[in-house]
Structure 1
């Protein structure tokens, strides 16, 4: 009888764990990290109570408050471990309806290190990538599937980055999606649920900006009628530290990681149409551009990384590059120089190829743009687009991702980006010393 009762208890426990696992749609995903809290994102398939237990090595577990998911925001829970100490690594466990839901990969997060006035900034690394297309045959266009190579997410995880910066086109809205909130949210949920993506979500902190495909239709601009809906969906599905930093709508945000500050710009919400014939077309728009210059001027970061969905430093006026918005791009470059803002480096996606652009300037340090694209979406053959700022030998025309390492003493910091193919094999690297991004006295 005793053996029967023990077996019965274990049977109930097994059934309970299995049934709660079936309730999990996607995640957990680690969002932003700060000194005193982090964000953990989870999505269920139906209403459920969700919480996280977290613990540092040698410490007992602590629980976040329970969050009850509802259909109002696609059954998404955002959980905030707050009983944490800075500069520590934590493991965590997921509970749905008070039952532990194990994952077969690591679940970890870290808090920011308090290094200021104490030590040199810690070395760290972050992944970059853009253009993630997850196939769904019933909604895709006929012919060869546009997305492939989802094992790339395992390759990214194998490089053990501290965080990942998503540079736009992080999902691809399609014809059945554009016109309704239900369509937009379906697409976000479908992409986020990609099985190969889940281990990367669970232990690497994620930050994102968008470009046209996760904002609206191809080449979408400020006229897109559903932009407030996609703004809400984007903010629901990502775990950025802040949003609408410029205060004029859109998903502009920024965050610090050690001595590097990231400025996540919105190149869609305020954008004039590509086909607008009159001059002075808006790309970021006046208010967002003003905010960026103020924020860069105020920043004391060693490297100031400006992330924009489209290329900034390429001078090829093709497709949707910033070069096709001549007046505003020139205004940005002029104001960077007038304010003598140091340490600026651009990062971008969109182009379905990877390249480095470097623009030499008179009496100023050169401006560099690291373009990294695509993760899983389509590619094109090598071609000369007329970008005379392109760094020779630093292009790649297949699916890829980048790992950026920031290392060295504070006054000798070095930023090195290494490009890898889908299988995690090194293609090339490119390095810049902080002294190369400084105005001379």
Structure 2
């Protein structure tokens, strides 16, 4: 009879391999809710290693006996072990409880997991009231790659404050994390930075229970002040599409431009990096959004019937100060935008912007038509900046310039003929710093 004899070290190795194989895959980050529509919802999950991921979900108002199960998604290393799961057995105007299952085993969380579908209100009722949170500049510290000295990021309790505010969705306004020197030259580095930033423990309840949409700005696109010349922009676009759950992308294989609707409000997500000419280029007609993107935006705004048409951009649009990367530095394109909005008689346009590490509210009066507004909210957790002297100009709404970590909650309410938008700015602890109210009837 043949017998096999194993050394002690061999037995230890075999036991370790058995133990490793028997350990179930775990969640690295998420779940995170992506877009919500009437007929489907996207749920994003990142696992520690290859796994079969699925969700089970049921109407929150039911007894939970009727559960739906999503199609399973297999995660793999080349896509960051990320699963994008579609809940497609949903009904309109519902809230759902959901579970995450890995390799046939339910994963337990110490916070609830819920998502919602949008309401079918058209031709039936007044549009629904809803709220969303907006902000930008979210820096997550990592000692190995941070610059020496005092950590730049802080106040991550802001995530719980936002969670407690219970918005229907969250709109990330760029610089949602910061690529470092060790990251931006390789796909491996970019994958690490996205994963590291998404895995922060304190943000997980917010990710799991609030729907998320995003644009980018320079720091989550490439190096500081990156423009159309950035050599690795196709890789950063791949990362953006992997790590966010936006419903669409306007241009195949270029830019993160897109659009979505919540209730009766439309949101236009602009890319201020992909087509942008270098800041230092001395050309009076140099591109900011670029004509392809500009034409799309103007046509989409012209087509829209929304009472509020919210244009989301990384940098400020209305501030006339030609500082940093404001659109005012790209004067020809800014003039074209303002002229076309007036020529086409497009009502209800409001801009949301970030980048500046200060928050502010801007009002640009226009002869013969309604004023335009630009809400700048920055930063979430990155370091606040000093107020620039040139920001103190006639377009700045007095009392709104704030150099604190902050976020804005925007609430839409009113019947179909009297919609209003309440804008509140809160510091990271939830203290209201100021508020403004805009009425759709005044934006015509």
Which residue pairs with 2:34 in the alignment? 31
Q: Secondary structure at the match of 2:42?
A: strand
- Aligned pairs for 1:7-406 (under 5 A) are 19-20=23-24, 23-56=26-59, 57-58=61-62, 59=64, 60-243=66-249, 245-247=250-252, 249-386=254-391, 387-406=393-412
Deviations 1:80-113, CA, capped at 9 Å, x for gaps = 0101001100010010111000111111111010
C-alpha deviation, 1:249, in angstroms: 1.3
Alpha-carbon distance between aligned partners in 2 of 1:330 and 1:173, rounded to the nearest angstrom = 32
Alpha-carbon distance between aligned partners in 2 of 1:304 and 1:246, rounded to the nearest angstrom = 20
2:70–2:85: 8 Å Cα contact kept in structure 1?
Answer: yes
Gaps of at least 5 residues in structure 1 are 1-14
RMSD: 1.4
Alpha-carbon distance between aligned partners in 2 of 1:388 and 1:433, rounded to the nearest angstrom = 22
2:275–2:289: 8 Å Cα contact kept in structure 1?
Answer: yes
TM-score (norm 1): 0.94
C-alpha deviation, 1:382, in angstroms: 3.3
Which residue pairs with 1:7 in the alignment? none
C-alpha deviation, 1:410, in angstroms: 1.4
Question: Structure 1 residues 247 and 279 mapped into 2: Cα distance closer, same or farther (>3 Å)?
Answer: farther
Count of aligned pairs between the two proteins? 421
Alpha-carbon distance between aligned partners in 1 of 2:358 and 2:416, rounded to the nearest angstrom = 32
Q: Secondary structure at the match of 1:306?
A: strand
C-alpha deviation, 1:394, in angstroms: 1.1
Alpha-carbon distance between aligned partners in 2 of 1:336 and 1:236, rounded to the nearest angstrom = 34
C-alpha deviation, 1:273, in angstroms: 0.2
Alpha-carbon distance between aligned partners in 1 of 2:356 and 2:314, rounded to the nearest angstrom = 9
1:349–1:373: 8 Å Cα contact kept in structure 2?
Answer: yes
Q: Secondary structure at the match of 1:364?
A: coil
Deviations 1:10-65, CA, capped at 9 Å, x for gaps = xxxxx99x954x62100000000011000000000110010000000215111101
1:316–1:388: 8 Å Cα contact kept in structure 2?
Answer: no
Q: Secondary structure at the match of 1:222?
A: coil
Q: Secondary structure at the match of 1:90?
A: strand
Which residue pairs with 1:420 in the alignment? 426
1:315–1:388: 8 Å Cα contact kept in structure 2?
Answer: no
C-alpha deviation, 1:247, in angstroms: 4.7
Q: Secondary structure at the match of 2:399?
A: strand
C-alpha deviation, 1:381, in angstroms: 2.6
1:259–1:301: 8 Å Cα contact kept in structure 2?
Answer: yes
Gaps of at least 5 residues in structure 2 are 1-18
Q: Secondary structure at the match of 2:197?
A: helix
TM-score (norm 2): 0.93
Alpha-carbon distance between aligned partners in 1 of 2:283 and 2:346, rounded to the nearest angstrom = 31
1:246–1:287: 8 Å Cα contact kept in structure 2?
Answer: no
Q: Secondary structure at the match of 1:122?
A: coil
2:356–2:385: 8 Å Cα contact kept in structure 1?
Answer: no
C-alpha deviation, 1:246, in angstroms: 4.1
Deviations 1:233-282, CA, capped at 9 Å, x for gaps = 00100000001x14571100100000000000000000000000122110
Which residue pairs with 2:16 in the alignment? none
